[in-house]
């Protein structure tokens, strides 16, 4: 259970230190490099918009879809864990897709 806490702490730090930088445009792949990456990058950006507007369930839905498109996208997992943590849904923050 300690690893769950570690994941949540990392997610909180990413949101706090980088101003949700794990979801910002500069980390997105270049357009046209890969359709799946472009789709997940757009979802990450949209999730940030939802998160910033206080629409946590919509942010989780977009992050979950980004994980489905690109299961190797660590940013989506960490960001989703942070959103779940902010909603005080701790057991969900440690689950996979």
Which tens digits make up the pLDDT trace of 1-38? 556 666 666 666 665 555 544 444 444 444 444 545 57
Report the SS3 class of residue 38. helix
Output the six-digit token pair for 24: 């910002």
| Average pLDDT for the chain | 75
Q: Exposed, middle or buried by CB within 10 Å (0-12, 13-18, 19+), for 79?
A: buried
Distance CA 41, CA 69 (A): 10
């Amino acid at each position: 259970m300690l690893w769950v806490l570690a994941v949540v702490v990392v997610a909180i730090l990413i949101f706090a230190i980088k101003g949700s930088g794990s979801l910002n445009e500069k980390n997105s792949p270049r357009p046209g490099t890969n359709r799946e990456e472009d789709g997940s990058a757009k979802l990450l950006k949209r999730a940030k918009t939802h998160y910033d507007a206080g629409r946590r369930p919509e942010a989780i839905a977009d992050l979950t879809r980004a994980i489905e498109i690109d299961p190797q996208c660590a940013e989506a997992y960490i960001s989703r864990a942070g959103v779940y943590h902010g909603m005080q849904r701790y057991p969900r923050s440690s689950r996979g897709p």
